[in-house]
Homo-oligomer: A and B are copies of this chain.
Amino acid sequence: MREKTTRFVLLGALAAAGPLTGFDLRRWVGAELGAFWSESFGQIYPGLRELQAEGLVAAADRGGEGKPYRITPAGRAALLAWLSRSPRPERARSELLAKLHFGRFLGTESVRALLEAARRHASERLESVQAEAEALAQRTTGEERVFAQLTSERLLSVARAELAWAERALRTVEALEAGGPDAALATLA
């Protein structure tokens, strides 16, 4: 059974920037972690309720609008325990690769369109990760900045690898069109 990671990310957000309302939490996660994490209200509100019932967060007594929450000492301990545990290996489905695997059912025109979409997505991703990395460099210092930059570096290197692959793959498909499977395989050697 998968463990609910939402709770820990909410704790982390409150530790970093609390007190925050449910709405603010979603906004914070989007702004700070958006390149590699997302949370929906469907998880946030029930998650906060649960964390509160367990004493890991409490309503903050800050005046103003909304219902802000703060992390408790027990919540900090729970956050640290989670952070110390080895992360699950990443597994994700790739619709692009599934479609490419079945590429033989498509004409090469359609395969080319598929790879062009992949190139576009990779390029957009690279741009947005770069822009975010630059913004982060501006607004963080010290240790926080080290970790922020490490996360950006990983995203950037994956994005670059994916873009480079898309470009090579397009060339392979061109060779397939021009000279058949053997010519295509020759570009992969």
Contact = CB atoms under 8 A, between A and B. Distances in A.
Contacts of A87: 94-96, 99, 114, 117-118, 121
Contacts of A60: none
Contact of A143 (B121, B154, B160, B176): B176
A15 B99 CA distance: 13
A153 interface: yes
Interface residues of A, number: 76
Given A89-B125, A98-B9, A165 B154 contact: yes
Oligomeric state, in copies:
2
Nearest to A5: B95
Given A95-B88, A121-B90, A164-B157, A15 B102 contact: yes
A169 B148 CA distance: 12
Given A80-B105, A92-B92, A100-B147, 4 more contacts: A87-B99, A87-B114, A100-B151, A154-B165
